[in-house]
Amino acid sequence: MSGEAFLDWALLFALALLMLSFLLTVARVLLGPTLPDRVLALDMLVSIAIGFIAVLGIKTGFTLYLDIAIALGLVGFLATVAFARFIANRPAEEPTPRSGKPSPDQGIGR
């Protein structure tokens, strides 16, 4: 197997793995269950997108893709920090019982 054929095979394998991780991460964004889980999944989506860009840069040989990946990494970092501040500053929610009946610690008249 020549070096060029091996590189083509490795790039195809990398793209397949990135596609699988992208689909699993989108499932985590949609299913949650909590807001921090979704924020972490969105940050992971940015990392996967950077991986896609890097693989495409290697496949095409254009170095411009590296600059795009670096810019996306910076924007993704800032978005993650903004989401973390949003989560930290929002008021804590009180848990509600699922059955609709008041729990013993809530009392009747509250």
Residue 22 lies in a domain: yes
Residue 17 lies in a domain: yes
Query: Using CA atoms, how far apart are residues 57 and 65, in angstroms rounded to an integer?
Result: 5
pTM: 0.76
Query: Using CA atoms, how far apart are residues 72 and 52, in angstroms rounded to an integer?
Result: 12
Number of domains in the chain: 1
- pLDDT per residue, tens digit, the chain (110 aa), is 898 999 999 999 999 999 999 999 999 999 989 888 999 999 999 999 999 999 999 999 999 999 999 999 999 999 999 998 998 898 877 665 566 565 555 555 54
Residue 53 lies in a domain: yes
What is the span of the domain harbouring residue 25? 3-89
* CATH number, residue 66: 1.10.287
Cα dihedral sign for 97, 103, 109, 110? Answer: negative
